[in-house]
Amino acid sequence: MSSSVLRIDLGAIARNTRLLKENLGSARLVCVVKADAYNHGAERVVPVMDDAGADAFGVATFSEANQVRALTEKPVLAWLWEPGEDIPVGVELGVPGLEHLEWLIEHDVQVPLHIVVDTGMNRSGIDEEDWGTAFALARNAGLNVVGVMSHLACADEPDHPHNAEQRAAFIRAVDQAKKAGLDITQSHLANSPGSITSTGVVFDQVRAGISLYGLHPVAQRHESSSLIRAASLTPAMTWAARLTAVKRIKEGEGASYGLTWTAPADGWTAVVPVGYADGLHRSWQGALDITIGGVRYPQVGRVCMDQIIVWLGGNEEHVAVGDEAVIFGQGGMSAAELAERAGTIHYEVVCAPHGRVRREYGETGDVDKRKGETR
């Protein structure tokens, strides 16, 4: 069994879900659990969010939708698909293009639909010059359109002028859909950063993602404008492993491939059995501090397929084989700090661990045994 483990705090996920739900007022909370709940494990996470106040769930693909539908009675929305795919029973659809809409009409698909409009992200979605055509096609075909949806490009930068432009465009789309005769009641634009930084982009519901897992979706420099502070969210993931070696090294000796690092003095190194095959990216080398016994030590040398090396200095703390090393999470550097130092985003950091890494689940809060909820 691998000594590398992802510890997932379901209590943290329950608390974050309740906090976000309370912050939304009357708007519905769509919990985004794509990519196996951002690598936290949908099978365990979805029931917790369900109990903690989720109104619906969002995923990318139909395979994800099938998994989530088996875990909840609440609506499941999928938005990344192509015409011709078998549509899962009981799943709501985002309609990202005219081709998709025409295919649904041709095959008389009667499921709740959310028409995706492009308001300036320029990714998927129906362009503004085609909104009228799309809404008229849907109305004339008698499709069950329940909402209009779009996505913010710069919500993690609250002062970016593009946010206001997208909000204005989205309002135009909603108004146009209603004037076309569509009875829409579930329109949504805001993602995690949008819902946390501005009430102006919260419409009938929001699609919350990264914040559910305890990571704040805006940079620290923008946090003063947030409705929810980073300290209010509880990160749910910790990645740790047990040391497989502690070795002496002499001043000037190199370690790991290429000997790109040399010991600055006589001392000790330790080996953590995690590498790029487990999702610890080679590009993270030099950005990692590994925490052992509450003390942070620098990762040194090249990241290998299965291992990394840590510089212990004189090993005054008597680090030994079998001691736990925290890569990120509780008791160590945060996913956000690692992301900033590695030049990436914390979304990628929590999605990275895979392969031989096993998950363990726990709850750090008080548990209501009658409902199975963490309080």
Chain length of the chain: 375
- 10-212 folds as TIM Barrel (3.20.20)
pLDDT at residue 219 above 80? no
Q: What is the mean pLDDT of residues 333-350?
A: 96
Structure tokens at 315: 């090993």
The span from the CA of 206 to the CA of 194, in Å, is 9
* Cβ density class 157-169: b for 16+ within 10 Å, e for less: bbeeeebeebbeb
The span from the CA of 142 to the CA of 77, in Å, is 20
Backbone angles phi, psi at 107, to 5 degrees: -100, 10
* Contact between residue 299 and residue 290 where contact means Cβ atoms under 8 Å apart: yes
Strand arrangement, sheet containing 205-208: 145-149, 113-116, 92-95, 76-78, 56-59, 28-32, 205-208
Which position has the higher pLDDT, 40 or 3?
40
Q: How many other C-beta atoms are found inside a 10 Å radius of the C-beta of residue 141?
A: 16
Structure tokens at 269: 């190194």
Q: For 230, how many CA atoms within 13 A lie in the half-sphere containing its CB? A: 14
Angle at 269 between CA 268 and CA 273, to 5 degrees: 155
* Contact between residue 230 and residue 213 where contact means Cβ atoms under 8 Å apart: no
Residue 257 appears among annotated catalytic residues? yes
The span from the CA of 177 to the CA of 148, in Å, is 8
- Tens of pLDDT, residues 245-259: 999 999 999 999 999
Helix (H, G, I), strand (E, B) or coil at 295: strand
The span from the CA of 310 to the CA of 303, in Å, is 11
DSSP conformation class of 126: B
Residue 276 appears among annotated catalytic residues? no
Lowest mean pLDDT among 79-93, 113-127, 224-238: 224-238
Helices and strands per DSSP (H, E), number in the chain: 10, 20
- Residue with the two structure tokens 């040398």: 301
DSSP conformation class of 90: T
The span from the CA of 115 to the CA of 341, in Å, is 39
* Contact between residue 46 and residue 21 where contact means Cβ atoms under 8 Å apart: no
Q: How many other C-beta atoms are found inside a 10 Å radius of the C-beta of residue 62?
A: 18
Cα distances (angstroms) measured from residue 70 to each of 26, 53, 55, 272: 27, 18, 16, 37
The type of residue at 158 is P
pTM beyond 0.75: the answer is: yes
Domain range summary for the chain, segments of one domain joined by +: 10-212, 237-362
pLDDT band at residue 200, thresholds of 50, 70 and 90?
confident
The span from the CA of 3 to the CA of 61, in Å, is 32
User: Among residues 34, 213, 276, 297, which one is catalytic?
Assistant: 34
- Residue with the two structure tokens 């997208």: 166
Structure tokens at 214: 């305890």
User: Among residues 179, 247, 257, 371, which one is catalytic?
Assistant: 257
Structure tokens at 115: 């028409």
Lowest mean pLDDT among 19-28, 43-52, 54-63: 19-28
- Tens of pLDDT, residues 161-192: 999 999 999 999 999 999 999 999 999 999 99
- Tens of pLDDT, residues 292-331: 999 999 999 999 999 999 999 999 999 999 999 999 999 9
Helix (H, G, I), strand (E, B) or coil at 299: strand
pLDDT at residue 369 above 60? no
- 237-362 folds as Lyase, Ornithine Decarboxylase; Chain A, domain 1 (2.40.37)
* Contact between residue 375 and residue 22 where contact means Cβ atoms under 8 Å apart: no
- Residue with the two structure tokens 């970016």: 160
